[in-house]
Amino acid sequence: MKLALPTPLPTRISTPASAPTPGGVGRLDALLVILSAENPAFKTLPDGQRLAREAARRGIDKPGGILYSSMPGARGRPAIVGLLKSGASVHEALTLSRKIVAAARPLRAKRLGVHAAGPGAGAWRAALVDAVLAASFPMPSLRSETADIHPLEELRVFGGADLGAEGHAAEAEGNGLARWLTALPPNVLNPSAYRQLLEELAEREGWSAEFLDVGRLKKAGAGAFLAVAQGSGNDGAGIMRLKYRPSSARRPKLALVGKGIVFDTGGTNLKPFRGMLDMHGDMQGSAVAVGTLLALSRIAWPEPVDCWLPITANRTGPLAYTSRDVIEAGNGLTIEVIHTDAEGRMALADALVLAGRESPELIIDYATLTGACVAALTSRYSAVFSNREQWLQPLVEAGRRCGERVWPFPFDADYDEALKSDIADVLQCSLDNDGDHILAARFLSRFVPPTTNWVHLDLGSGHRKGGLGHIPTAFTGFGVRYTLELLQHTTLPERDA
């Protein structure tokens, strides 16, 4: 079964400086609007007085309310107006935008307009743009009948002269790629197919691609990754390295590391049915890393970046690794295996070792790593950890600014007491599972050079039924938007500050 990589979004984004006029909306299939709930500026819309009366008549005057009505001079095509409270967070604006776009989805629109008025108009307008682009990105379809696709051709952003359309399109494409990869069925995206897709993507984007197969990883001593991979036999497992080099610089300043478990049965410690049902999504960390690399390429990020992707499945069988095995990782540390369903930290360990050997200034890793993270935060937030305590507040603020929210947890050294082994350097995890998201981060930190800045994202919000923020699909691609915000608009304190 052959799938072609998704192509860049075909949408043309125009940014007229004016508010919408009857002539300006006449060719549109719909106009999407956010107004302030306290003082909705219907007067900025064509036939705004009628829309205001209609909203009052229907009782749509509270934050979150959505009015679906017709536009004047547009052959009965709709205006969809949402109300948002002044001072609403970016996440709230994104969430309302997703609902507004969902109301327009049955129209199969080819030409949409976006408008906002009120104290947060700039951010609201941007949220609508992001929601439109996210909903426009096609997800995989393996139906026998050809899908009736109506790609969005034009997005007209009224008053959006300062929008920075290229950046929004880059983020949407990176996030869309992450979601597209994650949604692929496990028999389609097996390790060999994943490698092939990544090599095709690298060729298209001008990256270099190097695949460390099982033979090379044995020579490199990457025993933690290989322990997970051995249960699947010879299925094309390995660690992919993608290199983005906008200049002649050889050493990466940034390394992105993503967990690429294409299906997780739990291994010898087999998962129950419901826990295994969507485990093709356990490679979302790697998809987010690749999507972030694509977005950085689209905005012509000026610094060199490496992307490390440990790709395999975690299966049961006569060759699968087992509890109480002792494994040696690539940095020489020995690991006593406790639970074979804690495979993500094993695969990441050797990828972090390899990334660290290139001496980047910053490593960011992404992983759908622990159920403890979801238990602590629900799927609304992801967890963030760092080996630089002074970074935690800026990391949280970056999430608030972009609407992909993160929350930090303790990272004190005394948590290591729960990972003491009588026979090896470290336990893979504890027996009682208390605070497993914290212990997983402490475990991973042993495979990052202490002189290297490191951020670990446990993607508890990588999957949420009904979507999250502006994203309409259950797999959210969480992390692409966050990383762009972190790299472009966040000042992180110096290490010794």
What is the average pLDDT across 377-387? 98
Q: Supply the Cα-derived Rg of the chain in whole angstroms.
A: 24
Provide the pLDDT for residue 9: 76
Partnered with residue 334 across adjacent β-strands are 328
Give the separation between CA 426 and CA 318, rounded to whole angstroms.
Answer: 25
Q: How far apart are CA 165 and CA 182, in angstroms?
A: 26
Q: For 392-437, what is each residue's pLDDT tens digit?
A: 999 999 999 999 999 999 999 999 999 999 999 999 999 988 999 9
SS3 360: coil
Q: Are 480 and 295 in contact (CB under 8 A)?
A: yes
Spatial distance between the Cα atoms of 482 and 171, rounded to a whole number of angstroms: 10
pLDDT (mean) for 128-140: 96
* 3-state SS, residue 231: helix
The answer to whether 271 is a known catalytic residue is yes
Percent of the chain with pLDDT over 70: 97
Q: Are 77 and 52 in contact, with CB atoms under 8 Å apart? A: no
Closest to 235 measured CA to CA, from 263, 266, 270: 263
Task: Over range 424-453, report the average pLDDT.
Answer: 96
Mean pLDDT of 248-263: 94
pLDDT at position 13 over 50: yes
**Pairing label, strands 208-213, 453-458:** unpaired
What's the pLDDT score for residue 295? Answer: 98
pLDDT classification of 146: cutoffs 50, 70, 90 = low
CATH 3.40.220.10 residue ranges of the chain are: 12-159
**Region 220-242 average pLDDT:** 95
Average pLDDT over residues 438-460: 98
Q: How far apart are CA 220 and CA 201, in angstroms?
A: 26
* The pLDDT value given to residue 80: 95
Closest by CA to 253, choosing from 201, 309, 302, is 302
- Sheet strands side by side (includes 326-328): 326-328, 334-336, 426-427
Q: The CATH number of 12-159 is which of 3.90.1300.10, 3.40.50.1360, 3.40.220.10, 3.30.70.100?
A: 3.40.220.10
Mean pLDDT score, 314-318: 95
Confidence of residue 279 (pLDDT cuts 50, 70, 90): very high
The per-residue pLDDT of the chain, averaged, comes to: 94
Instruction: For residue 497, name the pLDDT band (cuts at 50, 70, 90).
Output: very low
120-to-37, 83, 126 alpha-carbon distances in Å: 11, 12, 10
Calculate what percentage of the chain has a pLDDT beyond 90: 84
Whether residue 149 has pLDDT greater than 70:
no
Q: 10 Å Cβ neighbour count for 73?
A: 13
- Characterize the bridge pairing of strands 305-314 and 260-264: parallel
Of the candidates 298, 345, 446, 464, the residue annotated as catalytic is 345
280, with CB counted inside 10 A (0-12, 13-18, 19+), is: buried
pLDDT in tens, 49-92: 989 999 999 988 788 999 999 876 556 679 999 999 999 999 99
**Residues 85, 99, 271, 380: which is the catalytic one?**
271
Work out whether the CA dihedral 466, 472, 476, 482 comes out positive or negative: negative
Burial of 468 (0-12, 13-18, 19+ CB in 10 A): buried
126: confidence class by pLDDT, cuts 50, 70, 90: very high
Tell me what pLDDT residue 1 has.
Answer: 61
Q: What is the mean pLDDT of residues 263-290?
A: 96
Is it the case that residue 495 has pLDDT exceeding 90? no
> Tokens 């998201």, residue?
437
Q: What are phi and psi of 81, to 5 degrees?
A: -115, 125
Q: Which helix H or strand E contains 310, and what residues bound it?
A: strand 305-314
Which residues, in sequence order, are CB contacts of 165 under 8 Å at separation 6+? 13, 15, 129, 157
The pLDDT assigned to 76 comes to 65
Calculate the CA dihedral of residues 130, 131, 136, 141 and round it to 10 degrees.
120
- Give the pLDDT of residue 148: 60
| DSSP E strand boundaries for 315-409 | 326-328, 334-336, 362-367, 382-386, 406-408
Task: Please tell us whether the domain made up of 171-489 is placed in CATH 3.40.630.10.
Answer: yes
CB-based contacts of 160: which residues, under 8 Å, 6+ apart?
15, 16, 114, 125, 129
Mean pLDDT of the 31-54 span: 92
SS3 370: coil
Taking every pair of C-alpha atoms in the chain, what is the biggest distance, in angstroms? 78
- Hey, CA dihedral for 396, 398, 403, 406, is it positive or negative? negative
Q: How far apart are CA 342 and CA 440, in angstroms?
A: 9
pLDDT per position as a tens digit, 155-191: 999 999 889 999 999 999 999 999 999 999 999 999 9
481 is catalytic: no
Average pLDDT on 317-344 reads 97
The pLDDT score that the predictor gives to residue 320 is 97
* Residue 200: half-sphere exposure toward Cβ, Cα within 13 Å: 12
CA angle (305, 308, 309) in 5-degree steps = 140
Give the pLDDT score at 419.
98
Nearest to 415, CA basis, from 393, 430, 400, 404:
430
Of the candidates 476, 483, 496, 497, the residue with the CA atom closest to the CA atom of residue 137: 476
Ordered DSSP codes for 249-307: --S-SEEEEE-EEEEE--TTSPPPHHHHTTGGGGGHHHHHHHHHHHHHHHTT-SS-EEE
Task: Please list the residue range(s) of the chain that carry CATH number 3.40.630.10.
Answer: 171-489
